[in-house]
A and B are shown apart, each in its own frame.
Chain A
Amino acid sequence: MYGVPRAKDKMLKFSHSSRYFLFVAVILYFTSIILLSIESVTYIGSIHKHIGINTKLVEIVSVIPISLLIYGAIKARKYNNRNICILLTTSTLIFIGTAIIYIALLALEKITYNNFVYSHLHINLKAVVNLYSYSMLIFLISSLLYYFLSQRIRFFIKRHFNTLLMVILGLLEISILTEAFLVKGFVSENLLVDPLSILSLLISSVVFAEASGVKIGSVLIKHMRVAGAVSVIALLIYLCFMFVETNNYNNYVYSKFHMDLNGLLYFSTSNSILYLSFINRELILRLVKTSRGKLSNENIKILKFIIVSSVFYYLISNLPQTINRLSENTTYIALNANQTYEDKVRYRWPFIYDYMMFVKNNTEENSVIAVPPMVRPWLTEGNADMVRYFLYPRKIVTGEINTFPKEADYLLLAKGSWPLDENSSYGWPKISITVKNIIYYHGEHGEQREVCCFYDSNSADNQNSWGLIKL
């Protein structure tokens, strides 16, 4: 009833340029959809390769006429046209269609294995993501355009503001909680919808609602109180889990309870911001009103809505991370107040620090020590500058995969602390040589073993060992 504009809506003739823009927009929109669909069943860049048309360029250009229409709509605010309604309906249908296809393919990929969709159905999932995101963008833009043009839709939103807000808030909180219990970014990365950005828009709409003549219902007030209470409970749970995590090891809570602590904090913080901004909405609105430009001007109101939403988004995206860092630090320090300098460095560099101390204790201050090259798997122990920090004033020189500088008195016997890539293998040096002796290192409390007088680089034992070779 409210969705379709009727003759009752204030209707002014669509200007000639607007019609032209709309025509161009529709043509470019369909062209982009077709091109992206072709890329989905072939590969990204296939259109450019065979026809010479850059799909991304067409996508970007197609947004320009629609954006100009929006500008016209905001500026004029009084024309209406059935063509816009057609654009909205078409873009909605295409968006729903692509969303269903994308989610189905994504689910298929998740329950089978990586690259299943491409190998069995010959559909490029990345190209489908492009199609989905593009159709979502056009859907959002045309909805916005429709919102500015149709008084009926604005009336509908005002009338059902409380219900709409609670439904969307409920969905958002479920998605934020899903991220807390699965993994952060689950919804935003897969569905390309950022719950926090929608939440910040909703919070701003609550602040602006009363200024636009919307009455806040008692159910919504109760909902906000619940949000406030939930935020406190979630914060307490977060603090308990943080305590548990600090007492055990990094990522302990996630591995045992499958709960992302950061996600939980996002849930708590976003709810508390929602509650605090709700109870202080008059104050915030007063701050908005005292700024330059009168709120009675509709265009200024839109601009101020953008500003308030941006500030809320900034708060929601930064505050949880900052609080998380604060609580991590504080909990750790509170539980380990008496740690020595060595303990602290060892905590940050668990294996490397002890290994470096072992090397330091077994070499003279004026010695020259060769380290492996800084490639996988020796990205840390092959970093001469890092090694020098621990072993100064000893001279550190960097070796190659199969050689080492002649000036070296010692060589690090380094298995490698990073995972391998396709071109690498564990163990350095990779050259068999006669040496004075080899001291093997078996951890801080392990027994040190000395061997004389040949280093065999092909021995599996040597390839998987840590130690020091004296030349």
Chain B
Amino acid sequence: MNTLTLLLSLISVLAWGRLLLGKKELFYSMSLGFLIYSSLLTFLLFIFGWAGMNINEHTLFLLTSLLGIFALIINLVLGWRLKFEIAKFDIDKLCSLEKLVLCMIAVLLFSSLVHGFYWPAVDWDSIALYDSRARFIYSTEELSSIVFRSYYLIYPLGTSLLHTVVYIIGFTTPLFLYTLYFACFLVCYYYISAESFGNKYALASSFLVAITYSLYAHAQIAYTNLPYSIFVSLGLITLFRSIKKIEARQWLISAMLLGFSSWYRITEPFWVLAVIISLIIACYHRKIIIFLPYAALSVIARYVWVAYQSKYLNDLSSQESLITTYIEKIIGNLNFDSIWTVFVYTWNNAVAQSGWLIFAFLASMVIQYMNAKRVSLEITIQLLIIFGMYALLYAGSYFYYSEEAFETWLTYGDSLRRISMVFPPLLIYFTFVNLYEKQRYK
């Protein structure tokens, strides 16, 4: 049955990729299909588990069948066959530097995949939380096996249930999934970049993303930061591309990616920015109605998880009261020394993590501005995304600075660095878009 489940999953990945993307490129469809399908599968597994069903191979088989058949039927209704093409890639036309770049990406991914199949998930947080929950659910077949401890309910079950699925299918380690996530991300990033500014620059920008140490290191540990960063950055990039023209598919993909980002991590508030930006874009195109499905999809996973949390956590504060507390704490402790201390801390742990990419991004934006001779909506949205996210991180750091003892606060730097993994892909993409995007001002 497990082999059949695996086979069905593969077909589902392809069917979902084809359905969402509407394109025949095999690698792109597979990558996007994997990202969305894996999240959808674990989310539904969670819903089924919450409804009282056992989480075992039968439920998994049922779900993969349902998801696969659903995607296949829709594909058939739309008249699409699962026929794919591999984009022609003439290796002889590449220069030696490009060949070297391709070779390095392949070696990095292959080595990471070998690492993923070799090592079990034994890093600190995986043992204490993510893989623990997966093993408890796997051994008891019950979702309720984790509710005895509030710590296990802090983060949503995205990666944990994916681990459970991997254990049910019969693998001994789930670590290779993170390399798969990373590889899928790179493929999606490459294709999106290629659509935006051509193959040559897409290869360069994807290479910069591939060698990003924080992303590469997280492709080899079972933490939630990598999936979260992937979903947020891809979701925001896809949303950004809707500025020119709103396409239903892109709109849907962006909403699903951002919605599912909350299925991996719930503490970071970047989704708020995405909702605001989608509203701006919808208003800009005078199609305000399309904002509603976007907002609904962006928050659905989040609110389902919060509902589950609130069932078991008695002291769970509401989102509104939390925001009020945050603002009160921040405003109540404003003074220059604190502002400066938190600024330096956020700079070192969040901004400096992307090296000087922030300067490259700003310089490219000035070039774009000088060319366009006006502040376009693209510039505004780029600024809103990057500085909005930095401002949220700053506000969060400030809140903890006011809340915690100074020595404890300093130890949060590592978490801040992990959250900041989302920035390099965004900064690289925006810089390249500003420099190379085709026919922007025609």
Distance in angstroms between the alpha carbons of A369 and B213 in the assembled complex: 40
> Which of A307, A319, A392 counts the most chain B CB atoms within 10 A?
A307
Partner of B139, one of A291, A306, A322, A393: A393
Closest to A345 in B: B122
Q: Are the CB atoms of A385 and B149 closer together than 8 Å? A: yes
Interface residues in B358-394 (C-beta closer than 8 Å to A) = 359-360, 363-364, 366-368, 370-371
Question: What class of interface size applies to chain A in its complex with B?
Answer: 35 or more
Query: Is B127 interfacial (CB-CB < 8 Å)?
Result: yes
Q: Are the CB atoms of B114 and A330 closer together than 8 Å? A: yes
Q: Which one of A9-17, A114-122, A310-318, A443-451 is at the B interface?
A: A310-318
Collect the chain B residues with CB atoms within 8 Å of residue A156's CB. Answer: none
Q: Are the CB atoms of A386 and B128 closer together than 8 Å? A: yes
Distance in angstroms between the alpha carbons of A392 and B136 in the assembled complex: 8
Query: Is B2 interfacial (CB-CB < 8 Å)?
Result: no
Distance in angstroms between the alpha carbons of A393 and B366 in the assembled complex: 59
Partner of B355, one of A291, A300, A318, A388: A318
Instruction: Known contacts A280-B97, A293-B370, A321-B213; decide if A389 and B337 are in contact (CB<8 Å).
Output: no
Collect the chain A residues with CB atoms within 8 Å of residue B366's CB. Answer: 303
Partner of A292, one of B120, B139, B354, B436: B436
Question: What class of interface size applies to chain B in its complex with A?
Answer: 35 or more
Q: Are the CB atoms of A291 and B435 closer together than 8 Å? A: yes
Q: Are the CB atoms of A304 and B367 closer together than 8 Å? A: yes
Q: Are the CB atoms of A304 and B97 closer together than 8 Å? A: no
Partner of A307, one of B151, B216, B370, B435: B435
Collect the chain A residues with CB atoms within 8 Å of residue B368's CB. Answer: 292
Collect the chain A residues with CB atoms within 8 Å of residue B355's CB. Answer: 310, 313-314, 317-318
Task: Digitize B311-354: 1 where CB-to-A-CB distance is under 8 Å, 0 elsewhere.
Answer: 00000000000000000000000001100100000000000001
Closest Cβ–Cβ distance, residue A70 to chain B (whole Å): 14
Closest to A326 in B: B111
Closest to A306 in B: B363
Distance in angstroms between the alpha carbons of A333 and B201 in the assembled complex: 34
Partner of B336, one of A54, A291, A386: A54
Partner of A318, one of B212, B220, B363: B212
Q: Are the CB atoms of B120 and A345 closer together than 8 Å? A: yes
Collect the chain B residues with CB atoms within 8 Å of residue A348's CB. Answer: 122-123
Query: Is A309 interfacial (CB-CB < 8 Å)?
Result: yes
Closest Cβ–Cβ distance, residue A310 to chain B (whole Å): 4
Q: Are the CB atoms of B356 and A309 closer together than 8 Å? A: yes
Instruction: Known contacts A283-B95, A290-B436, A385-B128; decide if A344 and B120 are in contact (CB<8 Å).
Output: yes
Distance in angstroms between the alpha carbons of A276 and B97 in the assembled complex: 8
Query: Is A163 interfacial (CB-CB < 8 Å)?
Result: no
Closest to B217 in A: A325
Q: Are the CB atoms of A313 and B356 closer together than 8 Å? A: yes
Query: Is A37 interfacial (CB-CB < 8 Å)?
Result: no
Query: Is B132 interfacial (CB-CB < 8 Å)?
Result: yes
Distance in angstroms between the alpha carbons of A314 and B209 in the assembled complex: 10
Instruction: Known contacts A292-B368, A313-B356; decide if A349 and B122 are in contact (CB<8 Å).
Output: yes
Instruction: Known contacts A303-B367, A329-B115; decide if A322 and B213 are in contact (CB<8 Å).
Output: yes
Partner of A56, one of B100, B112, B119, B340: B340
Distance in angstroms between the alpha carbons of A333 and B217 in the assembled complex: 16
Query: Is B357 interfacial (CB-CB < 8 Å)?
Result: yes
Instruction: Known contacts A300-B370, A322-B216, A325-B217; decide if A311 and B211 are in contact (CB<8 Å).
Output: no
Q: Are the CB atoms of B114 and A292 closer together than 8 Å? A: no
Instruction: Known contacts A307-B435, A386-B124; decide if A300 and B356 are in contact (CB<8 Å).
Output: no
Query: Is A341 interfacial (CB-CB < 8 Å)?
Result: yes
Query: Is A18 interfacial (CB-CB < 8 Å)?
Result: no
Distance in angstroms between the alpha carbons of A291 and B364 in the assembled complex: 10
Instruction: Known contacts A293-B367, A293-B371, A314-B355; decide if A333 and B118 are in contact (CB<8 Å).
Output: yes
Collect the chain B residues with CB atoms within 8 Å of residue A291's CB. Answer: 367, 435-436
Query: Is B73 interfacial (CB-CB < 8 Å)?
Result: no
Q: Are the CB atoms of A310 and B97 closer together than 8 Å? A: no
Distance in angstroms between the alpha carbons of A307 and B367 in the assembled complex: 11
Instruction: Known contacts A54-B337, A389-B127; decide if A307 and B213 are in contact (CB<8 Å).
Output: no
Q: Are the CB atoms of B151 and A385 closer together than 8 Å? A: yes
Query: Is B238 interfacial (CB-CB < 8 Å)?
Result: no
Q: Are the CB atoms of B172 and A341 closer together than 8 Å? A: yes
Closest to B431 in A: A307
Query: Is B164 interfacial (CB-CB < 8 Å)?
Result: no
Task: Digitize B187-217: 1 where CB-to-A-CB distance is under 8 Å, 0 elsewhere.
Answer: 0000000000000110010001001110011
Closest Cβ–Cβ distance, residue B257 to chain A (whole Å): 25
Distance in angstroms between the alpha carbons of A283 and B203 in the assembled complex: 15
Query: Is B395 interfacial (CB-CB < 8 Å)?
Result: no
Collect the chain B residues with CB atoms within 8 Å of residue A57's CB. Answer: 336, 340
Distance in angstroms between the alpha carbons of A132 and B64 in the assembled complex: 63
Distance in angstroms between the alpha carbons of A54 and B340 in the assembled complex: 11
Task: Digitize B94-128: 1 where CB-to-A-CB distance is under 8 Å, 0 elsewhere.
Answer: 01010010000001100110110011101110011
Query: Is B39 interfacial (CB-CB < 8 Å)?
Result: no
Distance in angstroms between the alpha carbons of A310 and B364 in the assembled complex: 11
Query: Is B262 interfacial (CB-CB < 8 Å)?
Result: no
Partner of A306, one of B115, B360, B371: B360
Task: Digitize A387-398: 1 where CB-to-B-CB distance is under 8 Å, 0 elsewhere.
Answer: 011001100000
Query: Is A246 interfacial (CB-CB < 8 Å)?
Result: no
Collect the chain A residues with CB atoms within 8 Å of residue B367's CB. Answer: 291-293, 300, 303-304
Collect the chain B residues with CB atoms within 8 Å of residue A315's CB. Answer: 208, 211
Query: Is B417 interfacial (CB-CB < 8 Å)?
Result: no
Q: Are the CB atoms of B436 and A310 closer together than 8 Å? A: no
Q: Are the CB atoms of B151 and A318 closer together than 8 Å? A: no
Query: Is A42 interfacial (CB-CB < 8 Å)?
Result: no
Query: Is A89 interfacial (CB-CB < 8 Å)?
Result: no
Query: Is B419 interfacial (CB-CB < 8 Å)?
Result: no
Closest to B432 in A: A291
Q: Are the CB atoms of A319 and B211 closer together than 8 Å? A: yes
Query: Is B10 interfacial (CB-CB < 8 Å)?
Result: no
Q: Are the CB atoms of A386 and B127 closer together than 8 Å? A: yes
Closest Cβ–Cβ distance, residue A197 to chain B (whole Å): 8
Q: Are the CB atoms of B95 and A306 closer together than 8 Å? A: no
Collect the chain A residues with CB atoms within 8 Å of residue B212's CB. Answer: 318, 322
Closest to B213 in A: A321
Distance in angstroms between the alpha carbons of A322 and B208 in the assembled complex: 12
Collect the chain A residues with CB atoms within 8 Å of residue B24's CB. Answer: none
- In order of increasing CB-CB distance, the 10 nearest A-B pairs are A310-B360, A310-B356, A291-B435, A385-B128, A321-B213, A303-B363, A306-B363, A314-B355, A307-B360, A293-B367
Provide 17 A-B residue pairs closer than 8 Å at the C-beta atoms, listed in order of the A residue.
A54-B337, A280-B97, A287-B201, A303-B364, A304-B367, A310-B363, A314-B355, A314-B356, A322-B212, A341-B172, A344-B118, A345-B120, A349-B122, A386-B124, A389-B131, A389-B135, A392-B136
4 further A-B contacts with Cβ under 8 Å, apart from A304-B367, A315-B208, A318-B211, are: A292-B434, A293-B370, A318-B355, A348-B123
